[in-house]
Structure 1
């Protein structure tokens, strides 16, 4: 019986790609990529369970913690790092842990993904608790570091999510919520930075975006909790205040300054004619949901 993960199989569609003209080689790669979104779509019921669990945990003061090795770990860290400027969450609320530590973000750390005890220790180090959701990511579904982390997180009372792109995938058997997007043989045999990486990125996008929407970090599809940390984002925040606050850009710029850089507060100040402290109080009463403050 073949027990290799499906990502280790040879892909007949890309066999001989080294002899193809460049444009045909790229079409073959793109053909394989095109399949991934449909495969992830089939996982939406499980992804939805995970989104609801993350949102519930964050509302109770918990955290979203990604843990992975290699490409999977880098993707988790990437998604977590983007949540700060996009949704205004702190680095303590959403973060990623990668086998081998920060050095592994830019280079392969030999044997790091094979250390099950290190994965467990990482969960102890960040004091994983009952309100946290730990998302273990392993393309093959077998990385000992990730499985060790998930096992310890469960012992500590956290909700655990397993994201894998192969079958069999022990990680998905061991997590509370399994997300198994089986992408089949990779374009290059075993190179899970390709279709598996694409699938995991799509899943991370859904997990973090979905959870943030559900805890009030957006108004419709507008990033009202965006952090104005560079010129582009300052301009975006000003446009949000002008548009949603129903005012002009000059006034919006003033309100953004008075609100301490918060587009959300600036919008309330514009619409309700209140100062920053009053806007902050109104937002707190609405549990952070701008739609409730504005009655929309």
Structure 2
């Protein structure tokens, strides 16, 4: 993809309300995670019993918990865990999903059918159940979550991308490219992958959003990030037992999880529209017809 094409996609993405919202949310999370590497208002794991349950005020802008931990510092440090899980699971899902999709679409018939059956078997197991089973066997670990979610959503990506590849494979421009001497690898890079990209992006954004939810859920259950590594799910679990007494404290990690997942999902939808010109054309045509439509007068 040329720099001009990338710039065009970014302009279309920013012109969409969902795209702007998703970009802003994801940028805030990534910047917060980067800043927390070098600075947080207080050390995230520093306890101060004398400062327990302080309300939001200076210098504890979001208050403190039962051990005097600064909640804002914990959320900033937890953003690192969220970014690691989302990016790590996304990379693993990309490699596994596209490899299975290519094997299931562009190889010999016996291998295509074998891959399709294999994907259908794996898709029957929910991602969170797989993550819980692996975490129960190998112990709670952040990398267990990353690999479990990456493998689970890699299979989901393969199931969606494989029929798309098969559909595009029989398009006229692909047949013309093959007739002009393009190899399978060149056809895949020039014609097939760009046409599957919109569907792939949406699936990947959903996978990253579920990775964030899976990490939070497993950490909430004690099967995710270790206690020495701040996590939004872990913080939510620690605060929810005091919900009746200090309800505001549990709101902050819950909002962080909610906005991050919402931002990833909306960004994926906007990226699909920005990378698929036909969707933009259809929407502009529908809007133009709606503006110019004149209601009929019924006598």
Query: TM-score with structure 1 length normalisation?
Result: 0.27
Task: Name the one with the larger strand percent.
Answer: 1
Task: Name the one with the larger helix percent.
Answer: 2
Query: TM-score with structure 2 length normalisation?
Result: 0.26
RCO higher in structure (CA 8 A, sep ≥6):
2
